[in-house]
Amino acid sequence: MDNKTLIQQQFGANAAAYATSTVHAKGASLPRLIELTRPHAGWRALDIATGAGHTAFAFAPHVAHVIASDLTPEMLTVAARLAQEKGLNNVAFREADAENLPFDAATFDLVTCRIAPHHFADVPRFVQECARVLTPGGVLAIVDNIVPADPPAAEFINAFEKFRDPSHARCLTAEEWATAYQQAGITLTHAEEARKAMNFDAWADNMNASPETRAALRQMLQTAPPIAKEFFAPQFLEDGTITFYLSEGIFIGTKEP
């Protein structure tokens, strides 16, 4: 089974959970993206791998029109329902492969993608597609989980993510993101890293993880190698609650004329 089919199966089966996922619906990176991109009222925007549509909905009041695209039809169904509930009439929905976008060149003034590229098999190809559909001078804004530059730690963190969600491909380092932007002709104008606290049970619930999978993931948090352990900073509370941290990178760039 290829990764795209796996993504559709994983997220199709769990689409409803992403409508209320705190990280996706209310994460700090949402208002930060608005602040950093300074959207214009006349802009045409594309949100890639929109999931339940949270990023598209955040930008909708600030731009003329948003297309919310996703590989998984069930996700688009959830997103369309939420848009209707919110009374948003400038958001359209389109099934689309992030690495082969079904849009003409120079169509959008803004392209966004939030907490999704770690599922993509070919991130450089995805960034090149973003650049292709952007107008000259258009803005690319990507948010995704990132890993330390230390290879063993990065490998362990990615293995941890993939054990919960088999459709996980790989989180990149900040340096790899900078390279992908440069190779696609996108000038990186801003990059930042933020730590985000995760509730273990809620995180596992998003993928409907089995008791056996949860037990193995808890064991991985407890036995992580030093740099990965420092990255996760896990806490095992007396009431059984487990928290840990992930790192999120925000990368803003403009398409070269």
Q: Is residue 111 part of a domain?
A: yes
Domain range enclosing 49: 3-147+167-196+246-255
CA–CA dist 23, 64 (Å, integer): 26
Query: What string of DSSP letters covers 14-58?
Result: TTTHHHH-HHHHH-THHHHHHHHH---TT-EEEEES-TTSHHHHH
pTM for the whole thing?
A: 0.90
Q: Is residue 155 part of a domain?
A: no
Domain total of the chain: 1
Q: Is residue 56 part of a domain?
A: yes
Structure tokens at 196: 């985000």
Q: Is residue 66 part of a domain?
A: yes
18 pLDDT more than 90: no
CA–CA dist 99, 121 (Å, integer): 9
Closest CA to 181 of 132, 143, 131, 144: 131
Q: In degrees rounded to 5, what are phi and psi of residue 252?
A: -115, 135
Closest CA to 76 of 50, 56, 103, 57: 50
**Per-residue pLDDT tens over the stretch 139-188:** 999 999 999 999 999 999 999 999 999 999 999 999 999 999 999 999 99
**Per-residue pLDDT tens over the stretch 60-73:** 999 999 999 999 99
Q: Is residue 65 part of a domain?
A: yes
Q: Is residue 91 part of a domain?
A: yes
Q: Is residue 153 part of a domain?
A: no
Closest CA to 50 of 17, 5, 80, 86: 80
CA–CA dist 96, 25 (Å, integer): 21
In CATH, what number is assigned to the domain containing residue 108? 3.40.50.150
Q: Is residue 67 part of a domain?
A: yes
**Per-residue pLDDT tens over the stretch 44-54:** 999 999 999 99
